[in-house]
Amino acid sequence: MAIIGSSSEPLLLLNPDLTVIAASASFCSAFHIEPTSVPGQMVTALGNGEWNVPQLKSLLKATASGRARISAYEMDLQGEGRTQRHLVLSAENLLFGSPTRQLLLLAVADVTDQRLAEKVKDDLVRDKAIMLQELQHRVANSLQIIASVLLQSARKVQSDETRDHLHSAHSRVMSVAAIQRQLATTGEAEVQVGEYLTELCDSIAASMIRDPDQLRITVEADGSSTNSDRSVSLGLMVTELVINALKHAFPEEQAGTITVAYRSTDTGWSLSVVDDGVGMPKGGVETPGLGTSIVRALASQMRADVKIIDRKPGTEVRVNQTPSDLGVQTGPTPMAMLI
């Protein structure tokens, strides 16, 4: 009795018939019950009747008979003129020597403040997720506007070299815009690689291929997904490699196909861009330009290897991440490399 009365946790000691033998001072204080009125009362008669919950009564009786056990029964308690409280109840049978000497110990935890804090946290997380999605949507729209301006400028300039640079800048911006659109649409942190690369290559083809019947870009990808940082790097590499193939593999609007392939396994991933154009120049690879430098820099950042293969005819650029590199963490793509 002394242990029950002095417990800092709200406790009730009950007979099998659910009459109260003793209550801790903390119980009486927490639920505004006069201590002297507790002994001998039915638990369902405590206070102003707010403890008269049929399901609680049934669970306590089942626990007393050994047919059930209350480990974390949750209920709302609404006292007269008081704020509703959310409680978690646990009950245990206590046996003293003879099986006929049985008591029931009911522990009550008030988790109202804790649940309120959890709700506030969940609301904040949800609000931040909505704000992030809205930000991604606005960023995607802004990138689309920038890309459109670049494409319009490319159509107006007279210099072929300037036009090529503007087309390249447009495609690089679109590679990031495509990711932002997918993130804004799905609301997920992961990007579906196949969908992203298909949208990206469609955008490049629309801006740089005059006759789709003569020259086309196809994408072959598995159903894997990756995080936004890696997808940005993959997209930029594909952009540079496809633009490079369009510039050099098909002179004088020669017909052909550029195939972008991506595969991911438990041991690594591989990206390849293959064209069936005129192939590599005699004497080996030309001096690396900006696009090639970007691809090698991104591959190095992702701890991947770049191989250029002469397919005779055509050229294949393959980027592989080996199993030993999977544990290396890569940082976000430097924005200075995007345009």
pLDDT for residue 183: 67
pLDDT digits (tens, 9 = 90+) for 53-97: 888 888 888 888 877 778 888 888 887 777 888 899 988 888 765
Taken in order 35, 40, 43, 44, the sign of the CA dihedral is negative
Rg of the chain taking only CA atoms, in angstroms? 35
CA-closest candidate to residue 69, choices 55, 90, 42: 90
Higher-confidence residue: 338 or 96? Answer: 96
In the predicted model, what is the mean pLDDT of residues 311-316?
A: 89
Please give the DSSP secondary-structure letter assigned to residue 42. Answer: B
pLDDT grade for 222, boundaries at 50, 70 and 90: very high
What are the residues whose beta carbons fall under 8 Å from the beta carbon of 253, sequence distance 6 or more?
210, 211, 214, 215
pLDDT tens sequence across 102-147: 888 889 988 888 888 888 898 888 888 777 777 777 777 777 788 7
Please give the Cα distance from 135 to 148 (Å, whole number). 20
Amino acid at 269: W
20-45 pLDDT, tens digit per residue, is 998 999 988 888 888 888 889 999 88
Give the C-alpha separation, 40 to 239, whole Å. Answer: 81
Q: What is the pLDDT of residue 329?
A: 39
Supply the mean pLDDT for the chain: 82
Q: How many CA atoms lie within 13 A of 190 on its CB side?
A: 7
> In the predicted model, what is the mean pLDDT of residues 162-185?
76
Calculated CA dihedral for residues 17, 18, 22, 28, nearest 10 degrees: -160
Residue range 304-320: average pLDDT?
Answer: 91
Tokens 């809205």 correspond to: 134
pLDDT band (50, 70, 90) for residue 48? confident
Q: Spell out the alpha helix ranges (H) of the chain.
A: 2-6, 25-30, 54-64, 112-156, 160-186, 193-208, 228-248, 290-301
Alpha-carbon distances, residue 124 vs 121, 183, 188, 189, 251 (angstroms): 5, 20, 17, 18, 56
Is the pTM higher than 0.75? The answer reads: no
Residue 330's pLDDT band, with cuts at 50, 70 and 90, is very low
**Residues sharing a CB contact under 8 Å with residue 115, sequence separation 6 or more, in sequence order:** 86
Res. 325: pLDDT tops 70: no
State how far the Cα of 68 lies from the Cα of 92, in Å rounded to an integer: 10
| pLDDT tens per residue, range 277-287 | 998 877 655 55
Task: Count CB-CB contacts under 10 A for residue 50.
Answer: 17
Higher pLDDT, 1 or 149: 149
DSSP conformational letter for 333: P
Q: What is the model's pLDDT at position 332? A: 45
Render pLDDT for 176-200 as a digit per residue (tens, 0 to 9).
777 777 666 665 668 889 988 998 8
Look at phi and psi of residue 253 and say left if phi exceeds 0, alpha if psi is from -120 to 50, else beta: left
Which pLDDT score is estimated for 327?
41
| Residue 238 confidence (pLDDT) | 92
Give the confidence band of 47 by pLDDT, cuts at 50, 70, 90. Answer: confident
pLDDT of residue 100 exceeding 80, the answer is: no
Q: How far is CA 191 from the centre of its chain?
A: 10
Q: What pLDDT shows up at residue 98?
A: 60
pLDDT for res 289: 67
Is-contact 337 297, C-beta < 8 A? yes
CB neighbour list of residue 307: distance below 8 Å, 6 or more residues apart:
317, 318, 319, 320
Residue 280 neighbours by CB under 8 Å, 6+ apart: 308, 310, 315
Q: Which two three-digit tokens encode residue 272?
A: 């390849």
Q: Give CA angle at 274 (195, 208), nearest 5°.
A: 65
